[in-house]
């Protein structure tokens, strides 16, 4: 069993914030893969479903970002899920906008939601880090993460979320590297190879012995 956690802040005020892209990703996965209706428990909202043949509990903590670990810890203990089977999807300032990286363990990197989870369950969980880009200076960070995605940004947000949803079964299979690679290829398809130029007909005829 896997615990799939999306990080964000509850309520319509925050729904399209850059800080809420973890919520957005989990919502999209739950919808596309026909998870159960949401239930209020563990200080959050949970849905149950299957990804890649594995039972998955999807969780959105309703504690606000800075206390996310309380909700994650409760759900993990109830279902007796080990930290290595917890996957957290969250925004990442230190990645360029639209980039996705998988990481296991390590520190919080300044992310308060990840810091809270570490304090409750330790570091040994997987993170799906979605780059939102850094605003350039520390004093602009708060307004940036709590600001809504612009129309221009949604041009990369929507394809990225669609790719995450399409490749989500790989998370259930434990194929995390493949998950990251497939998403990269979906968003950055290789250009078609140029077709070999055909030789002029007259030249071909001569090579075939025609005069």
- Please identify every residue annotated as catalytic: 19
Measured over all CA atoms, what is the biggest interatomic distance in the chain, rounded to whole angstroms? 85
C-alpha 164/C-alpha 148 separation (Å) is: 20
Please report which residue ranges of the chain form alpha helices under DSSP H.
21-32, 68-79, 112-121, 141-145, 151-167, 169-172, 176-187, 201-207
Backbone angles phi, psi at 164, to 5 degrees: -60, -45
DSSP 103: E
């Amino acid at each position: 069993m896997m615990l799939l956690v999306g990080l964000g802040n509850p309520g319509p005020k925050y729904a399209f914030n850059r800080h809420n892209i973890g919520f957005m990703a989990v919502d999209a996965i739950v919808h596309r893969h026909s998870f159960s209706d949401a239930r209020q428990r563990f200080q959050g909202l949970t849905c149950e479903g299957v990804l890649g043949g594995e039972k998955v509990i999807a969780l959105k903590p309703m504690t606000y970002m800075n206390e996310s670990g309380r909700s994650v810890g409760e759900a993990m203990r109830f279902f007796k899920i080990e930290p290595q089977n917890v996957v957290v999807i969250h925004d990442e300032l230190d990645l360029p906008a639209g980039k996705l990286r998988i990481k296991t363990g390590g520190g919080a990197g300044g992310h308060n939601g990840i810091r809270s989870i570490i304090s409750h369950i330790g570091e040994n969980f997987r993170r799906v880090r979605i780059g939102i880009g850094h605003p350039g200076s520390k004093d602009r960070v708060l307004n940036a993460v709590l600001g809504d995605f612009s129309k221009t940004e949604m041009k990369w947000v929507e394809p990225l979320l669609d790719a995450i949803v399409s490749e989500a079964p790989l998370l259930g299979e434990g194929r995390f590297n493949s998950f990251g690679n497939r998403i990269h290829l979906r968003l950055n398809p290789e250009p078609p190879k140029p077709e070999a130029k055909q030789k002029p007909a007259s030249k071909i005829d001569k090579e075939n012995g025609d005069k």
